[in-house]
Structure 1
Amino acid sequence: MAATTIVQGAEVTEFPTITPQAARGRVLRVTEVGEDVLHRPCRPVTEFGTDALRTLVDDMFATMLIAEGVGLAANQVDVDLRLFVYDLTTEDGVRYVGHVCNPVVEVLGEETEEVEEGCLSVPGPGADLFRPLHVRLTGADIDGNAIEHEARGYLARCFQHETDHLDGRLYIDLISKRTRKRVLKDMLALRPDVLDRRAQLTAGHDKEPVAYPDQPFV
């Protein structure tokens, strides 16, 4: 039986492993903790249906592919807009792919779940974090059409993590100071290998290489 794939909230019968957006897009540098664009709220998207917005979504999917992420916010590619993309497969084998402009997350119910979380802008380590288990996401697509998704578990966590980014908040802002210190220390040790891996994947997908600074911004 073929795996289920949900694209922009609708089930599709066929979908490639590499999204068309990622195939078209160019790879951008992922911004890292300490850069100003990650630590302040982003501007709402006000112009829809533009070539610039479509190109940005393509580039974000390509960047997410190379960084081996499941979600990516616009400020993680140094763009000050309330927009994120996602491509993840849940434990039950359902793949969810899409983008959301101007996302708003509403928590549904009181149940929470503690799961290890990581971030492409904190390359390498992760930390356990409680988040609500059930949420509703509303927003718009790049053409301005309304979007509404109800999500649980892994997908709900992704929606919350990426919306947090657009509010200027990283997951390490939600953990204890002691754990945050450990995560940042581990990042310094793991970052070179993470960036080498991204460079290898960039070449493997025949994309133009992107340069990172020798040292992170923290």
Structure 2
Amino acid sequence: MRPLRFEGDPVLLQTAAAVDQFDDDLAVLVRDMFETMYAAPGRGLAAPQIGVSRRVFVVDTDWKEAEPAPMIFVNPQITARATHEVQGTEACLSIPGKSFDVMRPAWVEVAWQDLDGTAQQARFDGVQAICVCHELDHLNGLLITQTGTLQ
């Protein structure tokens, strides 16, 4: 596990650098991110939230209610999005004890690389779309304090 970074830490406001080395160091980072996310307990975690300004995040929207379904996103980018947005309540491991109302696209299509650097693409709806957008915001130096309204 690695310590979380909290609101006020400059790394959370930086645009993360692209990953260009798909090696053991990346695998260790991702393993540590999952351990930290599950222990927190959260549904997603971006590398900047543990002080690493790299374009990688992990998500598991199922583990709290069902079998774990961990997903790894390296160098992700949204390639298409719904024109219709939905409002939801989000929390953030880097801003403990607060919730925010945030508008997100109803679905997103995302292109990314996996842990081996292989190109991936998929469409995400509902909670998965929300989580992917939230974590991608972290990679772009955005917090929900900037995109949402405090509840």
Shorter-chain TM-score: which interval?
Answer: over 0.9
Aligned to 1:157: 130
SS, match of residue 30 in structure 1: coil
Q: CA deviation at 1:93?
A: 5.9
Query: Where do 5+ consecutive residues of structure 2 fail to align?
Result: none
Distance 2:148 2:135 in 1: 16
1:110·1:132 contact (CA, 8 Å) conserved in 2?
yes
**Greater radius of gyration (CA):** 1
The root-mean-square deviation of aligned C-alpha atoms, in Å, is 1.8
TM-score, with length taken from structure 2? 0.93
Distance 1:94 1:104 in 2: 27
1:41-85: per-residue Cα shift (whole Å, max 9, x none)? 00000011x111111011000000110100000010101100001
Match of 2:139 among 156, 166, 181: 166
SS, match of residue 89 in structure 1: coil
- The answer to which structure has the higher helix fraction is 1
How do residues 23-102 of structure 1 correspond to structure 2 at under 5 angstroms? 27-48=1-22, 50-89=23-62, 96-102=69-75
Aligned to 1:119: 92
Distance 2:47 2:81 in 1: 26
By relative contact order (CA 8 Å, sep 6+), the higher-ranking structure is: 2
Distance 1:146 1:72 in 2: 21
Q: CA deviation at 1:109?
A: 2.5
Aligned to 1:210: none
Quickly say closer, same or farther: Cα 1:95–1:112, change in 2 above 3 A.
Answer: farther
Identity percentage of aligned residues: 35
- The answer to which structure has the higher strand fraction is 2
How do residues 4-15 of structure 1 correspond to structure 2 at under 5 angstroms? none
TM-score, with length taken from structure 1? 0.65
